[in-house]
Amino acid sequence: MSITRESIAQAYQAIQDEITKGLTALDGKSTFVEELWNREGGGGGRTRIIQDGNILEKGGVNFSAVHGQLPEVIKKSFGVDDDQFFATGVSIVIHPNNPWVPIIHMNIRYFELNEEVRWFGGGIDLTPHYVQEEDAQFFHQQLKDVCDQHQPNFYNDFKTWADNYFFIKHRQETRGIGGVFYDKLTPEKTGLSFEEIFNFSCDLGRSFVGIYTELVNRNRERAFGEREKNWQLLRRGRYVEFNLVYDSGTRFGLETNGRIESILMSLPAQANWAYDFKPEANSLEEKTLSLLKKDINWIK
């Protein structure tokens, strides 16, 4: 394999730089604060947090490259005997202050045990507080365009994967409108070389700024009041539920002695839970709930 774990980590660091630069320009007020950290056991990362911006209420763009002994619980879940692992990636969650602007999440990552056991994972998904179908169509079309450059079946396969993964089982609703999600991609599963899968991973990461900039600029000037803000806080509550109950990245970070502040940066500054909340009939809130379903074809 001509690419190495070091070259993958360097490329992901460059993507982190590109994204923080793009988001800083998009917000126009706040800047990212960086914290460098080391992981006990091996490796470390760069946590970059932005808060209290014009549009970005709280967000993180994190890079990590960690290595060391694989915990027993992870070895069992992977079905492997190797003790040493390496993992690197970029992880992003952005919570905007305007309820008409969606929450967005992206992750691109690489995991390696040995020459035979190594893979790429990642994806981008969108969680609107109010689902707007024209924005959903734009978002999914952009992701399809990236996928189609590499493999014609990637978008449909990874969209289905995202629908199934970002599903809050105890609520019987999707976290948002999905996107693309993939895990453990290898040449055997895709027909692509490791270099080609890596290139796909980087192209997906570099699509982030353009996609989110468009979605933010479509909605950042829209007025909102107490009703919309309360709904936003309730939808953030659903986001928290998914991340703490189901998210595999959160679980992996906690089980591998990851840095708690970086792992939990995905949580919003504020969220609400209301007992047995029911939206008004024929309201935009009711419409949003009706669209939090699997298998919606957003690209008309």
> Quick check: is 105 catalytic?
yes
Active-site hit among 67, 95, 105, 140: 105
Residue with tokens 């990461």: 205
The catalytic residue positions are 105
